[in-house]
Structure formats: C-alpha cells, structure tokens
Structure 1
Amino acid sequence: MKELDKEVLTVSDIAYTMDPSALAINASYEDLYEMIGACKKYEFGSSFTWPAYYPVFSAELKKTKTAFGASLAFPSGQEPTFLKEKQAEWFMTMDPVEVDMVMNVGWLRSKKFKETEDDIKAVRKVIGDTSLKVIIEAMQLTDEEIISACKVCIDAGADYVKTGTGFSKDPTTLHHVELIKATVGTQAKLKVAGGVRDLKTLLQMYKRGARRFGIGYRNAVNIIKEAQNLPGGQVDTNKADELELQKTQPADTGY
C-alpha cells in the first residue's frame, strides 16, 4: 500500500491511515460484518481479524477499497518458526496485501537476536514482497530493548515496525513513537497499535512519524466522526499538539 506523505490531512486521508480490526477474543461474525460494512463506507487502509474468518473475510474485502491484512502468530509471537511458516503459507493462498506478525519478544529480551531475526526472515521468505509489519510490543520493553527490536526488524527485512498488539494494558505513547522513528529513520516505516482511541492522539503520532494505525473498528469509526467535525474538513498535522477537538466516547472494545 502507498503511504501518505503529506502534512494536511482530509477526512478520507485519516481513514486511509487506519487499519480497523475485530480482534477481541469474543469477536463474532456479527462483528466481522459490521466492520466490513464500515470498510465499505469509510475506505480504510486495511483491515484485520482472526485467521479462522479469513476465507470469508478476504473474499468480502475484495468488494471494498480496503486491503486484506493477515495477523500472524498473534498475539503472542511465541509459536515455533515452522508453525509461523505454515501459517504464512496458508495466508498466501488468500492473497493478503499485508502481513502483521508478532515478534518473539521473549527471544529478544533474552538477547537471542539472531534467532529473533531468523524467525522474521523465515516469514519474509514465504510471503515474498507482501508488506510485512513486525509487532514489537514496545510498551513491554525498555528503551534499550525497543532499539534492539527495531534493529532486528530492519535487518530481517521488515517494511514496518509496529508498536503493539493492542492486548497490553499499557498504551503506545508519544515517547515510543519518537524513539522508534529516531531508530528506524527511513529504513522502515512505523505503525502504531494500542491506545489510539481519539483523533488528537492519532494526529500527534502522525506528526511524529507514524503513518498507519491499528485500531478497534468501533474506535476507528468514532475517529472518523471526530474528523468529520474538522473545520473545512481537513487538519494541519503540524498543529496536532495544540488542537482542541470534540471527542466522541471511546468504544469499550479491544485493540
């Protein structure tokens, strides 16, 4: 997917930066179709749910302008590499535009950097040129570990470093975004997930270098509703920190 490279965003631009998900443990087909309906209406960038739904989900998203994204080794990242390879092989039969995989953070924290890198490379080999985002669960890491995780992602050929699964009790912070962006520079892109529940937070993180946002689909819709109230239907992200926006009530749903 083409990444936005602009400072002034319209409502449709904001929608494009968001990847709505139905990844609560109790997500149902009703949730799935509600999310697909939102994708048709708002034209989000890509969308994610649990693998059990992929045969239906991938087919339905082809009827929209929203790309099909696949979540691999989600949410723990602790599966052995050969299972990740098998999962990736199955995903590729449904032509995902993007694969978001969870890093084996335990290996990283154990300083098994080569094993962590090889694990990612194995998935990269299976999916080829398909966009690969690697989730590092930054809110569970020290700054030193975040830097190490970013370097592993770059060396393994990831397209994006993604901050989290959304399953942590702690959110992605502006500090996480700034640290990751400073580490990866132009060598990888940055996706935020976990804790983005209003438009101002999204814009503040966009200003600091994040370009994609994984958000529970009901919160994504709420953010669109916030954006629709922007004066002139657009916003200068350089002024994100000073914005006073009318918030909608965050949805009490995961991710």
Structure 2
Amino acid sequence: MTDKELAAYIDHTLLDPVATRGEIEQLCDEAIEYRFHSVCVLPRWTSLAAEKLRGSEVVVDGVAGFPFGADSAKIKAAQTKEVIMAGADEIDMVADLPSIIEGNSRYLRRDIQAVMKVCRSFRPAVVLKVIIEASALTEKQIRFACQECEDIGVDYIKTSTGMHKSGGASVEAVQIMAESAPGCKIKAAGGIRTADDAVAMIEAGASRIGCSASVRIIEEFRQANR
C-alpha cells in the first residue's frame, strides 16, 4: 500500500463541538493536500466544508443523530435532508442503540430506513453509513445490528462515534462486522491514532477509516516506508 492509497481510505474528521471556523478550514486544506477521501464535520460546518472543497476530489461527510443516536427517526431524517442540502455527499448516522441492545428489530429498522429513504431520494444517491457503537455491544448484538443493516441495504456499517465511554474501534469488532454483513462495507472509527492502527483495521476488513489523527498517520506511514 502506498501513502496515497492509505489516504484514500480516510475520512478526515473533526467533530469537536467547540471546533472553530479556522479549524474547519484547516481540516479542509489538509484533506485537499493529503488527498483524503472526505472531511467529516458537524452540521454546523457542512456548508463551509462544501464551499472549501468545491472543485476538489474530497467529499463532505455529514452526520445525523450524532453522537448519541437518541433522536427520533423523524428528526434524524430531517437533519439528514438539511445536511445533504447544505452540501454533504455522505451521511454517518448514529443508530438507535437501545433497540440494538434489546434486539428490537422493528424500531431499529424504522430508525435506519427513515434516514435511508432521504439518502436514496437524491440523485445520485447519498452514501449512508450506520454507526452501531460496537464497543458497547456484545458479539451477539453486533451481529444482530449488522444483519439488520445488511438486510435494509445500507452502504456502510461504522464501528463507533469515537465519543462513547466504552471506547472506539477494535480489530475484533471490524472482523465480526465484516463477517456478519458481507454485503456492506465497514468503516472503522474511534481511537485510530497510528499508521499501524489504520493498516490493522484495513486488514481486518475496513473499507474506510474515520480519524482525526489523519495527517500524523500519513506522515508516520511515509516515514516507516521510506
């Protein structure tokens, strides 16, 4: 793998609620320089990111129901539409976590399908990634969530928000997710801070990496592969 190939896996992320305009602009500049796949920002900054990245190959990754997933399906759907209209090309939504823990398929499906309906209403369709907070779940719960996501037809299943007290991504969780939903791609996010971390997630089955340490990861990768 080259550094450019690794960079293409990365959603360059800044979801700090106190991030400023200048920090978002820097995030976008870094994404263009390093050729990351996208920048992932809070709804407050979606339009700014879209403006900064216009004309580049970097896409905008928006969020819905972030970071707890506790909003109603109706609110998540409305936020999704607003974020897409502001310039998001992809959506990372936080699934309803109690319904995963309880095995409540009906509620979980309604939650995800409300957002997916919005994403699929656009042309081209907007990529949907569903965050399941894998570190807070048992293996059985991870498999349940992944199988529901695959059955619904989402594009990606994402390990974590990176903000849950239970932790972030793990190689084991990525492997379980990839095995449980072979029809979906996997995004690993949360606590990925080194080049070795990123490569390990990709080798475990991740098709996308979400991280805020993206620049450091690429520079470290370059240094190790000189």
Q: CA RMSD in A?
A: 1.3
TM-score (ref. length: structure 1): 0.83
User: Which of the residues 27, 41, 44 maps onto 1:35?
Assistant: 27
1:31 offset after TM fit, Å? 1.2
Match of 1:174 in 2: 171
Q: Does 1:215 align with 2:207?
A: no
Q: Does 1:150 align with 2:142?
A: no
Which structure carries more relative contact order (alpha carbon 8 Å, separation 6+)?
1
> Which 4+ runs in 1 deviate beyond 6 A?
none
Which whole-Å CA distance do the structure 2 matches of 1:25 and 1:87 have between them? 17
CA contact (8 A) 2:159 2:168 kept: no
Aligned residues: 221
Match of 1:81 in 2: 73
Which whole-Å CA distance do the structure 2 matches of 1:21 and 1:146 have between them? 24
Using a 3 Å threshold, how does the CA distance of structure 1 residues 95 and 24 change in structure 2: closer, same or farther? closer
Q: Which amino acid aligns with 1:201?
A: D
TM-score (ref. length: structure 2): 0.94
Match of 2:129 in 1: 133
Q: Does 1:72 align with 2:72?
A: no
Larger radius of gyration: 1
1:22 offset after TM fit, Å? 1.0
Match of 1:16 in 2: 8
1:198 offset after TM fit, Å? 0.3
Which whole-Å CA distance do the structure 2 matches of 1:94 and 1:43 have between them? 22
Q: Does 1:200 align with 2:196?
A: yes
Which whole-Å CA distance do the structure 2 matches of 1:51 and 1:11 have between them? 30
1:85 offset after TM fit, Å? 1.4
Q: Structure 1: 5+ residue runs without aligned partners?
A: 1-8, 233-255
For residue 228 of structure 1, give the secondary structure of its aligned residue in structure 2.
helix
Which whole-Å CA distance do the structure 1 matches of 2:31 and 2:56 have between them? 7
Q: Does 1:96 align with 2:88?
A: yes
Please give the residue correspondences for 1:228-247 in structure 2 after superposition, counting only pairs within 5 Å: 228-231=222-225
Identity of aligned residues (%): 29
Using a 3 Å threshold, how does the CA distance of structure 1 residues 189 and 51 change in structure 2: closer, same or farther? same
